[in-house]
Amino acid sequence: MHNFEFVKPSSIADAVAALRQEDAQALSGGQTLMPTMKQRLAAPSVLVSLTGIAEMKGIRASGGVVEIGAATTHAEVAAGAGAYPALTALAGNIGDPAVRNRGTIGGSLANNDPAADYPAAALASGATIVTNAREIAADDFFQGLFTTALEEGEIITAVRFPVPERAAYAKFQQPASRFALTGAFVAKTSAGVRVAITGAGEDGVFRWTDAEAALSGNFSAAVLNGLAAPEDGLIGDLHGTPAYRANLVKVMTQRAVAAA
């Protein structure tokens, strides 16, 4: 690991100012960044910790919306987001206790790992990602493998989740990493159903629109029996072929619908 300067600001404004330094990198839970630095695949000259910013922590529920500070850990979401049970269940099944007590929701969304759980929840829920500069709809936020709409020096400060009428998340996890080999988050509202898939797509999280249309007409697992998820754009690796993952997309979606 290369030498670096460590800065721990106490406000969002100070964090944004610190990130203007050359080769500065935001640090939240560090569950991805620190291993990357240890392998010398990243070498920021300045690490700007976001964990000391009180206004970026905590969970607030009001008017059918759950707002979660970006520096809130997975364990805190699992324990405190009771107004959105599907989200608490998802957070409680991320990694292991060590990961859940360090990793944060903002860090996960900003990293946009193709097998992460939170992107599916945000996309299916129609969440809003709040940054120091603007508000971004989840549909516009995720832009491909490890790529988001965040601009240089922009940080996530909070995430707003509209609470649906029904929702659930089901994932088939890779046993070693506990990442989703394929995961499906289903959310039903008065406007219809949204289905977001993680772990299966070459470009990261995506919506399964055919399932959304079918479920909006009849919210039951059986309605998906006649559907097949397209294999184009799905991952093929040592864990499974695109056809295998396509089947998992359907099965995990059906399980999520049944649970919801």
CATH of the domain at 35: 3.30.43.10
Q: Which residue has the tokens 């008017």?
A: 63
Residues 231 and 219 in one domain: yes
Domain that includes residue 240, residue range: 166-259
Q: According to the model, what pLDDT value does residue 1 have?
A: 67
The residues, ordered by sequence, that sit 6+ positions from 12 with a Cβ below 8 Å of its Cβ are 53, 55, 56, 132, 155, 157
Among residues 118, 136, 162, the one where a domain terminates is: 162
- In 3D, which of 188, 182, 175 has the Cα closest to residue 246? 182
Residues 66 and 152 in one domain: yes
- Provide the CB-side half-sphere exposure for 88 (13 A, CA): 12
Mean pLDDT in residue range 142-162: 96
Residues 145 and 207 in one domain: no
User: Cα separation of 147 and 177, whole Å?
Assistant: 21
Q: According to the model, what pLDDT value does residue 174 have?
A: 87
Among residues 118, 138, 162, the one where a domain terminates is: 162
Residues 18 and 109 in one domain: no
Residues 73 and 98 in one domain: yes
Q: Are 186 and 253 in contact (CB under 8 A)?
A: yes
Mean pLDDT in residue range 122-138: 98
Residues 12 and 104 in one domain: no
Residues 15 and 98 in one domain: no
Among residues 30, 48, 66, the one where a domain terminates is: 48
Kindly state the helix (H) or strand (E) to which residue 258 belongs, with its residue range: helix 242-259
Q: Tell me if the pTM is above 0.75.
A: yes
pLDDT of 123 over the 80 cut: yes
- Tokens standing for 3? 């030498």
Residue 5 pairs with which residues in a beta bridge? 46
- In 3D, which of 147, 115, 122 has the Cα closest to residue 252? 115
CATH code of residue 227: 3.30.390.50
Q: According to the model, what pLDDT value does residue 193 have?
A: 98
Mean pLDDT in residue range 29-57: 81
Q: According to the model, what pLDDT value does residue 248 have?
A: 97
Residues 179 and 234 in one domain: yes
Q: Report the domain count for the chain.
A: 3
* Sign of the torsion angle spanned by Cα atoms 79, 85, 88, 89: positive
Residues 80 and 28 in one domain: no
- Count how many residues are written for the chain: 260
- Tokens standing for 53? 């910013």
Q: According to the model, what pLDDT value does residue 89 have?
A: 97
What is the per-residue pLDDT across 162-205, written as a single tens digit (0 to 9) for each? 999 999 999 999 888 888 999 999 999 999 999 999 999 999 99
Round the average pLDDT of the chain to a whole number and report it: 93
Residue 3 sits at φ, ψ, to 5 deg, of: -70, 145
Residue 156's Cβ-count burial label (10 Å; 0-12, 13-18, 19+) is buried
Q: According to the model, what pLDDT value does residue 211 have?
A: 98
What is the per-residue pLDDT across 47-62, written as a single tens digit (0 to 9) for each? 888 989 999 999 999 9
CATH code of residue 73: 3.30.465.10
pLDDT of 43 over the 80 cut: no
What is the per-residue pLDDT across 207-247, written as a single tens digit (0 to 9) for each? 999 999 999 999 999 999 999 999 999 999 999 999 999 99
Residues 92 and 154 in one domain: yes
pLDDT of 41 over the 80 cut: no
Mean pLDDT in residue range 86-94: 97
Residues 141 and 64 in one domain: yes
Residues 209 and 126 in one domain: no
Q: State percent of the chain over pLDDT 90.
A: 80
User: Cα separation of 201 and 86, whole Å?
Assistant: 22
Residue 92's Cβ-count burial label (10 Å; 0-12, 13-18, 19+) is middle
